[in-house]
Chain A
Amino acid sequence: MSDKKLSLEEVDHVAMLARLGLEPDEREMMREQLSSILDHISLLQSVDTSAIPPTAQVITLQNQMRADDVHDSLSLDEVMKNAPDSEDGMFKVRAVLE
Chain B
Amino acid sequence: MQFETIIGLEVHAQLLTESKMFCRCSAGYASADPNTHVCPVCLGLPGALPVINHGAVQATIMTGLALTCSIPEYSKFDRKNYIYPDLMKGYQISQYDLPLCGGGVLPLVIDGKRKDIGITRVHLEEDTARLVHRTANGETYSLVDVNRSGVPLMEIVSEPDMRSPEEARAYLMALRQILRYIGVSTANMEEGAFRCDANVSQRTLDGSVIGPKVEIKNMNSFRSVERALAFEVERQRKALRDGEALVQETRGWVEDQGITVSQRTKEFAHDYRYFPEPDLPPLVLDRAEVDGIQSRMAELPTARRDRFIEQYGLNEREAELLTVEREVADFFEVTVDGDSDRAREASNWITGEIFALMRDSGLELEDVKISPEQIRELIELVGEDTINNRTAKEVLVAVHETGKSPREIVEERGLAQVSDEAQLLAVVRSVVDEHPDAVTDYQNGKKAAIGFLIGQVMRQMRGTANPGVARSLLEQTLAERVTS
Contact = CB atoms under 8 A, between A and B. Distances in A.
A66 B37 contact: no
B55 A68 contact: yes
Interface in A18-74: 19, 56-57, 59, 61-71, 73-74
A97 to B, nearest CB: 7
A84 interface: no
Given A56-B76, A62-B281, A70 B144 contact: no
A21 to B, nearest CB: 14
B56 A56 contact: no
Contact of B54 (A16, A68, A76, A90): A68
Contact of A93 (B19, B85, B284): B85
B133 interface: yes
Given A56-B276, A92-B143, A94-B141, A68 B17 contact: yes
Nearest to A80: B35
Contacts of A62: 281-284
Nearest to A18: B83
A90 to B, nearest CB: 4
B132 A73 contact: no
B154 interface: no
B39 A66 contact: no
Residue of B24, B84, B133, B280 with most partner-chain A CB within 10 A: B24
Given A17-B271, A62-B281, A67 B55 contact: yes
A65 B36 contact: no
B131 interface: yes
A90 B131 CA distance: 9
- Which of B85, B281, B283: most chain A Cβ within 10 A? B281
Which range holds the interface residue count of chain B?
35 or more
Contact of A91 (B26, B134, B143): B143
Interface in B152-183: none
A20 B356 CA distance: 62
Contacts of B57: 65
Interface string B86-113: 1000000000000000000000000000
B145 interface: yes
Contacts of B83: 17, 19
A70 B24 contact: yes
Given A57-B276, A93-B142, A70 B51 contact: no
A94 B142 CA distance: 6
A19 to B, nearest CB: 6
A70 B53 CA distance: 11
Contact of B34 (A16, A69, A73, A90): A90
A92 B133 CA distance: 10
Contacts of B33: 76, 89
A97 B85 CA distance: 10
A68 B18 contact: yes
B39 A91 contact: no
Contact of B283 (A17, A63, A80): A63
15 contacts: A17-B271, A17-B273, A56-B276, A63-B284, A64-B51, A65-B51, A66-B24, A67-B54, A79-B146, A89-B35, A91-B144, A92-B142, A93-B142, A96-B142, A98-B252
Interface of A: 13, 16-17, 19, 56-57, 59, 61-71, 73-74, 76, 79-80, 87-98
Closest 6 CB pairs of A and B: A68-B55, A56-B276, A90-B143, A71-B24, A61-B281, A65-B54
